[in-house]
Amino acid sequence: MMQQLKLSAGLAGSLVAILVLAAAFVTTTSARAVEVQTITSPGGIKAWLVEDHTIPLVTMRFAFAGGSASDPEDKEGMAHFLSGMLDEGAGDLPSKDFQKIERDLAMKMSFDAGRDRFYGTFQTLTKTRKESFALLALALNAPRFDKEPFERVRQQIILGLKSDEQNPNTIASRSWMKLAFGDHPYSRSSQGTSKGVEAMAPEDMHALTKRLFTRGGLKVAVVGDIDAETLGVLLDETFGSLPEKLLMEPVGEASVSKTPAVRVIERDIPQSVIQFGHAGLKRRDEDFIPAFIMNYVLGGGGFGSRLTEEIREKRGLTYSVYSYLSPLDHGAVFIGGAATQNKRADETISLIRSELARMAEHGPTKKELAEAKTYLTGSYPLRFDTSSKIAGQLLAIQVDDLGLDYIDTRNAKVEAVTLEDVKRVAKRLLKPGELIITVVGKPGALKSIKPAGG
């Protein structure tokens, strides 16, 4: 493999020029229609492809079923640890040689562990795509996990975890997830714990790759200068040797707590960081799009949202307040956050609760709904203005099982939502009486709420 991946001196010497060229090639025309092909490689690997031969660049996004929610209880953070190890040597290439070839090819390869899936991002110039795909194949099929890079990455993760222990936003989020999900794996941090990371060994990583990297749990999206036949061959060379069947242990359904709770974590900081929320809607729920529109009006629309208007603009209580829907595979939540002066934390929480109650009771106005639809439909093409964004959108549509035609039908689905739909969904979704709230700081007395403990 070392011989296969060895570059000519001329190509290696022109690295700077290639990097500049690659950066220039990222942007594509958003107005251009996205024509998606569904392809199946000779070996049976399925992928979605958008051909664009105007630029010599290929972008691929892919995902394997299984993520941090499948980490063993005593080794939390294993999937996250793995995401940092896959460019640290593979096959007969130790870490430095592997990364030198990666740089010389001017390719990009990165990995990320979500709660339900393990994601990969890959980009290569057309002229070096065979060598670049071969390097990716090596990373997935024959990672090394040598002692020196393994310990180096371990220490980097532990340092990050120690930093997170002092980050009020991270503290608020992790505490909220524990209150919401109880003993379910979703309550654990994707990054893990120092104890869990310390307990891991290279053989754990080898075992995880055997379970995680399978064709049965694989979704692939490709955009760029490549045709279906060429891509099919490269997909087989990259993924074809992986086990066929999904081998990860299934994750059970989560039950989001409906018991209202407030947890105060005292820290000697000038502001209180607040996270709030309760159960949400899964992505495949028939009410998800009306809920998405409703949330845009409530807290997802930035400076135009109700929460921002009432809490920031009218009263100057916070710089930022927001809300969003987080639909996980085995449980869904509605989450929001804000930060404010300690002495005004109670006032801020009361306003958040009252705005949720007002939306639940009355829904948005006709004008708010119209403006939300205009923005959400008008901004949708911006999700497709680079090859990386297109690949990301195609992958997300596959993962959520929304159908090949979703790109064409999505705006029509938004337009079809009526004011009555949004009012009904607001009443169904928003439950101010079931709010789970975490506060990190020194908020003083929260008069209207009984804390759940620190």
Does residue 285 share a domain with residue 228?
A: no
Residue 151 has which token pair? 């310990």
**Residue 448 burial (CB < 10 Å; 0-12/13-18/19+)?**
exposed
Q: What value does the mean pLDDT of the chain take?
A: 92
Give the model confidence (pLDDT) of 252-283 as tens digits. Answer: 999 999 999 999 999 999 999 999 999 999 99
Give the model confidence (pLDDT) of 185-235 as tens digits. Answer: 999 999 999 999 999 999 999 999 999 999 999 999 999 999 999 999 999
Residue 38 falls inside a structural domain:
yes
Does residue 268 share a domain with residue 235?
A: no
- In our burial notation (b when 16+ CB lie closer than 10 A, e otherwise), range 83-99 reads bbbbbbbbbebebeebb
Does residue 429 share a domain with residue 367?
A: yes
Residue 48 · residue 100 · CB < 8 Å = no
Is residue 7's pLDDT more than 90?
Answer: no
Residue 416 falls inside a structural domain:
yes
Is residue 362's pLDDT more than 70?
Answer: yes
Residue 249 falls inside a structural domain:
no
Instruction: Look at the chain and report how many structural domains it folds into.
Output: 2
Domain around 231: 2-239
CB-based contacts of 87, cutoff 8 Å, min separation 6? 95, 98, 99, 102, 109, 110, 139
Residue 245 falls inside a structural domain:
no
Beta strands 331-341 and 271-279, pairing class? antiparallel
Does residue 401 share a domain with residue 307?
A: yes
Question: How many CA within 13 A on the CB side of residue 250?
Answer: 4
Residue 122 falls inside a structural domain:
yes
Does residue 164 share a domain with residue 49?
A: yes
Residue 50 has which token pair? 């958008």
Mean pLDDT over 303-310 rounds to: 95
Longest dimension (CA), the chain: 71
Does residue 285 share a domain with residue 186?
A: no
Type of residue numbered 342? N
Residue 86 has which token pair? 């896959």
Residue 29 falls inside a structural domain:
yes
Measure the N-to-C terminal CA separation of the chain; round to a whole number of Å.
55
Residue 136 has which token pair? 């990716």
Q: How far is CA 156 from CA 62, 120, 153, 375, in A?
A: 25, 20, 5, 41
Q: What is the CATH number of the domain that holds 172?
A: 3.30.830.10
pLDDT recorded at residue 13: 39
For every residue of 363-391, DSSP letters joined together read ---HHHHHHHHHHHHHSGGGGGSBHHHHH
Phi, psi of 143 (to 5 degrees): -65, 150
64 - beta bridge partners? 118, 218
Give the model confidence (pLDDT) of 121-153 as tens digits. Answer: 999 999 999 999 999 999 999 999 999 999 999
Is residue 16's pLDDT more than 60?
Answer: no
Does residue 156 share a domain with residue 297?
A: no
In whole angstroms, give the CA distance from residue 395 to residue 49.
10
Angle at alpha carbon of residue 333, lines to 192 and 315, rounded to 5°: 105
Strand-by-strand arrangement of the 321-328 sheet: 261-266, 436-441, 271-279, 331-341, 321-328
Residue 433 · residue 357 · CB < 8 Å = no
Is residue 6's pLDDT more than 70?
Answer: no
In whole angstroms, give the CA distance from residue 454 to residue 440.
10
Does residue 147 share a domain with residue 22?
A: yes
Residue 253 falls inside a structural domain:
no
Residue 452 falls inside a structural domain:
no
Does residue 429 share a domain with residue 336?
A: yes
Does residue 176 share a domain with residue 298?
A: no
| Closest among 435, 432, 434, 416 to 293, alpha carbons compared | 416
Q: Which residue has the higher pLDDT, 452 or 275?
A: 275
Does residue 267 share a domain with residue 149?
A: no
Does residue 343 share a domain with residue 270?
A: yes
